Structure 1
Amino acid sequence: MLSRRSDAGFTLIELLIVVVILGVVAAPIANAVIVSIKNTDATSARLAVSHDAQQSAAFFAQDVAAVGLRDYSGAVANGKVPYSPSIQLGAAYDGGGQVCGTAATPVSVLRLLSDDWDTSTPAATRRTAIVAYYLAGTELHRLRCLGSTTPVSDSVVAHNVAPGTPAVTCSSACTDAAVPLWVKFTFTAVARNADPYPITLFGQRRQT
């Protein structure tokens, strides 16, 4: 006698039900994955902007602390040599006769001038240190010259800077011969996948 073959299996309706259930389960999982990826990108962007803020703040505080170019051509009052204007705003590479870079160097947002003494020889030699902060596209550069028109460094200290946002304020008139006690540099970083991030750099001049 022949045995009867089993016809056990899935019907079309059962398969359709399984497909619907899988769709219902997969949709929220897919959304959760997409949100997680977006959050990771946003976090990475915020970390990159935060790193730029910390790096540029360290350089800026150091540069402002040293600002001050003495005017040895004038009279000495009360045993102190007066300052020349030591802060320049919107200055070209040769602003005020102080040259750092070439004609191809972008106009700076801010230039800081200071005396630097070379003590490598018995008779210390006075030289001028120039630090220029300029914007190239969306990158904030820090250009530095030391006793020469040729820069000793030109590095990017911040990325994703929104053009038109950099601004400089001082405790007194920035460009006066009386060097301000502090300088503040503000700008906004706009990184992809992250909200606009306002950055404030602050520096206080050493009292000498």
Structure 2
Amino acid sequence: MLSRPSRSDSGFTLIELLIVVVILGVVAAPIANAVIVAIQNTDATSARLAVSHDAQQSAAFFAQDVAAVGLRDYSGSVATGRVPYTPSIQLNAAYDTGGQVCGTAATPVALVRLLSDDWDTTVSPAVRRTAVVAYYPAGTELHRLRCLGSAAPVSDAVVAHNVKPGTPAVTCSSTCTDAAVPQWVRLTFTAVARNADEYPITLFGQRRQT
């Protein structure tokens, strides 16, 4: 008669199982903390990158817009061989400030509006148009609204997100709203992205025309 191999009844005791559980807990705790920290760092890094992208994008637009600012007054005589300017920078401006209409009554008040001449050379003789660029806040976004020769915007784009309300401010090299157009304009605000520190942003532009 064949004999069956004996089966061992040995196994883990309750104490051994408890020891294993304790060891697993000791090992898992720092690993879990490391994973959580890594995730938080990734979120913070992503937020900082998003804010940095907004800063670069808005700075490029603003520099371009300020470079072109300057609305000339062709209604009077030219005394020195140069056509004088009219006030070309408007602060806290409604959509129709100064008779230069861009947008509708529903368009938020702009932090700053930049006016300039734009000549349509696709026709002969060239036709002078007024370009209006308005930077206005909408919630936590900063928009760039642009009109060209009419009240209908040709573009309305978000150039910055996570803008902290109450922080945007505009300064100029001289009185912003004078007919003697300032040489430079600065727009500052603070961005507050989730999981990231507050990030101050400065948009700067220098006028090209003299």
Distance in 1 between the 2:157 and 2:74 partners?
32
- How large is the RMSD of aligned CA atoms in angstroms? 1.3
SS at structure 1 position matched to 2:93: coil
The worse-fitting range, judged by mean Cα deviation, of 138-147 and 71-80 is 71-80
Identity between Structure 1 and Structure 2 (%): 85
Question: C-alpha offsets along residues 57-80 of structure 1, whole Å, 9 cap, x if unaligned?
Answer: 000000000000001112212101
Asked whether 1:178 is paired with 2:180, we answer yes
Q: In the alignment, what sits opposite 2:19?
A: 17
Distance in 2 between the 1:74 and 1:175 partners?
20
Q: In the alignment, what sits opposite 1:83?
A: 85
Alpha-carbon distance change, 79 to 11 in structure 1, aligned in 2, over 3 angstroms:
same
Q: In the alignment, what sits opposite 1:32?
A: 34
Distance in 2 between the 1:130 and 1:6 partners?
89
Distance in 2 between the 1:101 and 1:156 partners?
16
Equivalent pair of 2:72/2:83 in contact (CA under 8 Å): yes
Alignment length (residue pairs): 208
**Which letter maps to 1:81?**
V
**Which letter maps to 2:139?**
G
Alpha-carbon distance change, 2 to 183 in structure 1, aligned in 2, over 3 angstroms:
closer
SS at structure 1 position matched to 2:190: strand
Runs of 4+ in structure 1 displaced over 4 angstroms?
1-5
Q: In the alignment, what sits opposite 1:6?
A: 8
1:101 to 97, 100, 103: 103
Q: In the alignment, what sits opposite 1:51?
A: 53
**Which letter maps to 2:35?**
V
Alpha-carbon distance change, 2 to 78 in structure 1, aligned in 2, over 3 angstroms:
closer
**Which letter maps to 2:119?**
W
Residue 7 of structure 1 deviates from its aligned partner by: 2.7
What is the TM-score when the length of structure 1 is the normalising length? 0.97
Alpha-carbon distance change, 2 to 186 in structure 1, aligned in 2, over 3 angstroms:
closer
Question: C-alpha offsets along residues 148-198 of structure 1, whole Å, 9 cap, x if unaligned?
Answer: 011000000000101110000000000000000000000001011111110
Equivalent pair of 2:68/2:209 in contact (CA under 8 Å): no
Structure 2: gaps spanning 5 or more residues? none
Asked whether 1:117 is paired with 2:119, we answer yes
**Which letter maps to 1:93?**
Y
Alpha-carbon distance change, 71 to 11 in structure 1, aligned in 2, over 3 angstroms:
same
Q: In the alignment, what sits opposite 2:43?
A: 41
SS at structure 1 position matched to 2:197: coil
Q: In the alignment, what sits opposite 1:162?
A: 164
SS at structure 2 position matched to 1:152: strand
